[in-house]
Amino acid sequence: MKNKFRLFIIGFIIFGICPVLSHAQVNVDGAGVRDKQVKPDGVQNPSSQPSGQPSGDNIEWVKNASKKHSPASWDLLMKYEKMPPEIEGQRKGWWIVTMKKPVSTFDQLNGENKKADLIDRMALNVRVVDLALQRHDLFQYAKDKKLQLDWDNAEVLLNLPPDKSYYISFPIKSLFPSVQLTELIPKDRKTFFFDTYIKGGTITQRFGVIGLLEEYHGYYFGSKYYFDMLDAYKTIETSDTDGFFEWARSSQSTMSAFYELDYLIREYLLYMKEQRPADYDALKSYRPFVEAYGAVRSSYESLIDQYLALVDTEIKRLNSIDRSRIGLDSNGLLWIKSQNNRNITGTYVLSDREKLIALLKGDRYRALMKDFPKM
């Protein structure tokens, strides 16, 4: 009888890439992996807004606030917390693979102490834990179903609470590295994520569009967390208006990921359809991927619609009760002017939306979306 070999891996993919490394390939600070706050002429940097005083109790505060205001995010964190430090699964041949947790549940809370900054760090924490869970859920699923994981497939398990789950196992040979799209994306559409997930990104080079979908899934959960935390921001600022503004400033970049990552996924699929038609036909016929992409896109789009509606509702409500003035201009600039200060503070809401929305709703992807409909 042949001997079984044991392989320990930590984190994100079979070759030991931790989700923190593949996901946060630039320095994380403030709003997470990106900060696209703008300073148009005459508009002050919102950093002058109060963000709460440093305190040793603030980490516990953000945990309690997250549990109260974003119970779905808290449930995701607690699911990861309760998972064993190691999960064993068997792949083809005689390898026994053991998955080890790559990060602690609240790893990303280190290094910040102000309450507003800790909410930003918790949003990043939710995203990183979601990426880790994608792998850990896969191992647990394979163990429960007595499946052998496949070296040659891009494999992941994507969950959308309360009751949707998508097990994806698609041949890597039918995918291609996302870097092949580098020369095909026009300069004016090279958004923040271009360097991170098209030119770089371990998982998007190895797993291609399935890696992009994993990141899309993670950003959805990060965005959902921000959406839920508006009332928490109001408790740490000097007024509801200041709290609303800080919430919008902090959340808008992560919310914009809906447009950016969907655009990159569509460009990948379009290139695949035109240059690798056999692989495209195989992918569009593979129901787990089609359904997972459609479900995540539908959930994320619904969240963005709710976000924009909430921004509009809050502007109207706050202008009726607060002496400060706040508004959203036609260019997407959210501004606030206090009664006793001539300066105007501003930030762009969904800054890449106008760059991409017409394209996403136009003819370029119309035929493509018939093969990959929303669920």
pLDDT at residue 57 in the model:
85
**Residue 76, token pair as written in the block:** 């995701």
Residue given tokens 């792949």 in the structure block: 91
pLDDT tens profile 308-322: 999 999 999 998 887
The model's pTM: 0.84
pLDDT tens profile 16-48: 223 322 222 222 222 233 333 333 333 333 333
List the one residue out of 196, 251, 232 whose CA is nearest residue 25.
196
User: pLDDT band at 326, cuts 50/70/90?
Assistant: confident
Q: At residue 136, does pLDDT exceed 80?
A: yes
CB 349 within 8 A of CB 248: yes
List the one residue out of 97, 130, 323 whose CA is nearest residue 219.
130
Provide the domain count of the chain. 1
State which residues form the domain around 302. Answer: 5-371
User: Distance between CA 34 and CA 352 in Å, rounded?
Assistant: 13
Strand order in the sheet with 86-90: 5-10, 95-100, 86-90
User: How far, in whole angstroms, is CA 270 from its chain's centroid?
Assistant: 22
User: pLDDT band at 193, cuts 50/70/90?
Assistant: confident
Q: What is the distance between the terminal CA atoms of the chain, rounded to a whole angstrom?
A: 48
Bridge pairing between strands 86-90 and 344-348: unpaired
With DSSP H G I counted as helix, E B as strand and the rest as coil, what are the percentages for the chain, rounded to 5?
A: 55, 15, 30
pLDDT tens profile 101-120: 888 999 888 766 789 999 99
